[in-house]
Amino acid sequence: MLVIPVIDIKDGKCVRVIQDLADNTEFYSESPINIARLFRKENFKCIHITDLDGAMYGDMKNYDIIKEIANSVDIPIQLGGGIRNYEIAERIIKELGVYRIVIGTAALTEPDFIKRCLDNFSASKVIVCIDEKLNNVVKDGWINFADITPLDFAIQMEKIGIKRIIYQDVTRVGNFSGPYVPRLLEIAENTNLKITSAGGISSYKDLKTIMEIENKGIDSIMISRALYENHFPCQRIWREMESEDISLDLPKVN
């Protein structure tokens, strides 16, 4: 089970998102770059970045910060938020060195854009994010309903060539209420998609819950708030070692 830490960036800062992108964000750090370096030091194998300004407004205000993060760590980065046309997608992959792009709203409104990305970048570079609220996919930074169920949307994306999705129930984001397992299983059992679960993770217990259904194709999980607030014992060990100035001999990533 691959655990992927999440860095949400708003106005150049690392923030916490709770259920809604517009109002319910709380500040974590002035420097998303330092957070990325810390996650790398703690030996994570991949980092997910969400550009919240991009998700809401479709701009790339945090471009320079994301570029510096990509240049600061030696592990793959996947980036989502505001990637709504091919020109932006191409710039992100070619100029930023981002390993994978995560597309949400544009996958709903511009399926031909998804097909073009798949043709030019391959399926390994493109992930579609399915954000759910009340069995309806939401878009535009979780503001508007798209009038399609998560399962139907997943099936549509699989038909055009998508191989992996990120699924999350947005009402669970940042509130430690656990992943929405019934929907994860519904999508997994009706498609051949690889699935990354996001939203709601509170502790190792939730990780175990996902690990128990890993054989369904749910092979990775994204975590944000629980990491920042040290809900995992191993984090406390690492930070205690750091405070005592003990060198960590972490294995290198091949």
Three-class SS state of 202: coil
Give me the helix-helix angle, 32-41 and 63-72, nearest 10°: 20
Average pLDDT, 10 consecutive residues per value, the chain (254 residues): 92 75 63 91 93 81 92 94 91 91 92 96 96 92 89 97 96 89 97 96 91 93 89 69 47 36
Going from the C-alpha of 66 to that of each of 38, 46, 62, 75, 254, the distances in angstroms are 15, 14, 6, 14, 23
Tokens of 130: 């399915």
The pTM of this model reads 0.87
Tokens of 90: 């191409």
Closest to 191 measured CA to CA, from 98, 119, 99, 128: 128
Confidence at residue 78, expressed as pLDDT on a 0 to 100 scale: 96
Three-class SS state of 50: strand
- Annotate 141-179 with b (16+ C-beta within 10 A) or e (fewer): bbeeebebbbbebbebbbeeebbbbbbbbbbbbbeebbb
Domain boundaries, the chain: 2-243
CATH class entry, domain 2-243: alpha beta
Q: How many whole angstroms separate alpha carbon 177 and alpha carbon 206?
A: 9
Confidence at residue 135, expressed as pLDDT on a 0 to 100 scale: 95
CB-CB neighbours of 249 under 10 Å? 5
Q: How many whole angstroms separate alpha carbon 33 and alpha carbon 62?
A: 12
Q: What are the catalytic residues?
A: 8, 131
